[in-house]
Amino acid sequence: MTDGTGALLAGTRRRERQPGPGPSGRAGTRPLAVLAAVFTVAQLVLVRPVLGLGWDEIVYVSQVTSHHPAAFFSAPRSRGVSLLVAPVASWSGSTVLLRVYLALLSGLALHLALRSWRGLFPTRVLVTAGAFFASLWVTLFYGPQAMPNYWVAVGALTAVGCFLRHRADPSRGGPLWGVVAGAALMAWMRPTDAVWVTAPLLLLALAGRHRRSLLALAGGLAAGIAPWVVEAYTAFGGLGERLAEASRIQGGLGANIAVDDQLRSLGGRALCRPCTGPMPHPVVTLWWFALPVLALLGLAVAVRARRTLRTLVPLACATTAALPYLFMIEYAAPRFLQPAYALLAIPVADALWHLVTTGRGTWRPVAVALVALGLAGHLAVQLTVLAHTVDRNTESRRDWARTAQTLHRLGVRPPCLVTGYQAIPIGYYAGCSSGATAGNNESTTDGAIRRTADRVPVATLTGPGGTPPGYARSWPVHRIGDLQARVAPAPGTGGSGG
């Protein structure tokens, strides 16, 4: 919006009012429904419902399940994911059932999010955009997981699409409810992400004095953020204290270049902190560099077609969504950029269709062949990284389960407490509470652990090269793979004092 928002609005209002081409009714939604169904099946086949719960998933799921003690819930987290999984996790401890539920729900959410763009772009563009986003390994991997970023992404698609539909036809009030729902979903999952994504929408609504759009955005954000703010005062000492603690846990927000960290994470690393090691092979990262180029091409196509706003807005929202994760934190995770990928998929798909439909003579077959070859290569890379990521995570979560089984054989059975190295996931798999006396998950003290050891079994885990805490140095040591487990003497024997 470098040439002035007011001028842009004045110049595009009449042209943007009419919806774009595309089939209507059932014929227009059927391809989107098929895409959502394929996405759902792909999650179940490629990621597999037997994949155990990961570290962050355990934190979210344990808040609502009755089968495991709740893990420590740190300041940056929001309760949205816990409420999302509650319909299943509150009564069933089955990971398979939870995965199937989330896969079905994520497919339905993608369908609804893409439907919110109908009338703005042809159905073929929306199907291509959805297929691109759904085929990313990070989307397939996290779709059936109890994690927030995918849901921020579909909330962003819904909010932006409905915002533009309302601008195209202000007489229709239905899209405003989509704006409310999309903004609330984002804020419900990750409040700060919701603010970054909607910043361009809020500025556009303010500049154009679109009161109803502004109220819808503000209302959705307020509804989603309210529980997080209330919890800030009930559990963290106030909003300022929670924000400060959240910033500390994230390493302190500021001017930090994390572009290279994000590149390293594209090879399938769930969390890159600290982000060291070599870069993935260039073929793995090529799509990442092509993405903004194609998005800008889509913007150029939109400017020439005099439908600038409906392409510029998702591009702007994708930029603000990615900004903090590329330039403001000191670590990376590929899932952080899911909202940006979802929004960029729209102009990218528009650019791809432009490339294969506007050429003449001998150029058009060449363009079609190049685009088809590029997409096939892209899909092959994504599926290869996905398979590698699934295998690695499956094995690491089996390691947690095996460690938990060994702890059971050592007498650490529920009710019990696990502290130290990877205490949260191993404690969950063992059915125990977890605790830490330092670090981002600090939740207890040495004295409290000693007192607990007088009542229930307690084990302290030490990782490779780690030093055991003072309270556990006299406890019997057991080797579990690369870990050392120090198990407190049985309650009542008087030997837990350390």
Q: What gap in Å lies between CA 166 and CA 16, rounded to an integer?
A: 10
Give per-residue pLDDT as tens, 356-393.
998 777 788 888 999 999 999 999 999 999 999 999 99
What average pLDDT does the segment 287-297 reach? 96
pLDDT at residue 14 greater than cutoff 70: no
Cβ within 8 Å of residue 14, ≥6 positions away: none
Q: Contact 160/182 with Cβ under 8 angstroms?
A: yes
Total length of the chain:
498
Give per-residue pLDDT as tens, 389-408.
999 999 999 999 999 999 99
b (16+ CB within 10 A) / e for 263-272: bbbbbbbbeb
pLDDT at 17: 44
pLDDT at 358: 84
Cis amide bond preceding 274, omega within 30: yes
Sign of dihedral through CA atoms 15, 21, 24, 26?
Answer: negative
Q: N- to C-terminal Cα distance for the chain?
A: 64
b (16+ CB within 10 A) / e for 460-492: bbbeeeeebbebbeebeeeebeebbbbbbbeee
pLDDT at residue 496 greater than cutoff 80: no
pLDDT at residue 263 greater than cutoff 80: yes
Q: What gap in Å lies between CA 420 and CA 402, rounded to an integer?
A: 17
pLDDT at residue 73 greater than cutoff 90: yes
Give per-residue pLDDT as tens, 152-202.
999 999 999 999 999 999 988 889 999 999 999 999 999 999 999 999 999
Question: Could you tell me whether strands 458-462 and 483-487 are parallel, antiparallel, or unpaired per DSSP bridges?
Answer: antiparallel
pLDDT at 180: 98
pLDDT at 495: 54
Q: What is the pTM of this model?
A: 0.93
pLDDT at residue 133 greater than cutoff 60: yes
What average pLDDT does the segment 448-457 reach? 96
Give per-residue pLDDT as tens, 229-239.
999 999 999 99
Alpha-carbon distances of 127 from 16, 118, 134, rounded to whole Å: 22, 11, 10
Cα maximum dimension of the chain: 89
| β-bridge mates for residue 418, sequence order | 434, 459
Give per-residue pLDDT as tens, 122-132.
999 999 999 99
Q: What gap in Å lies between CA 76 and CA 79, rounded to an integer?
A: 10
Give per-residue pLDDT as tens, 414-440.
999 999 999 999 999 999 999 999 999
Cβ within 8 Å of residue 452, ≥6 positions away: 417, 458
Q: Contact 459/485 with Cβ under 8 angstroms?
A: yes
Question: Could you tell me whether strands 458-462 and 417-420 are parallel, antiparallel, or unpaired per DSSP bridges?
Answer: parallel
Q: What gap in Å lies between CA 111 and CA 154, rounded to an integer?
A: 9
pLDDT at residue 2 greater than cutoff 50: no
pLDDT at 252: 75
pLDDT at 25: 55
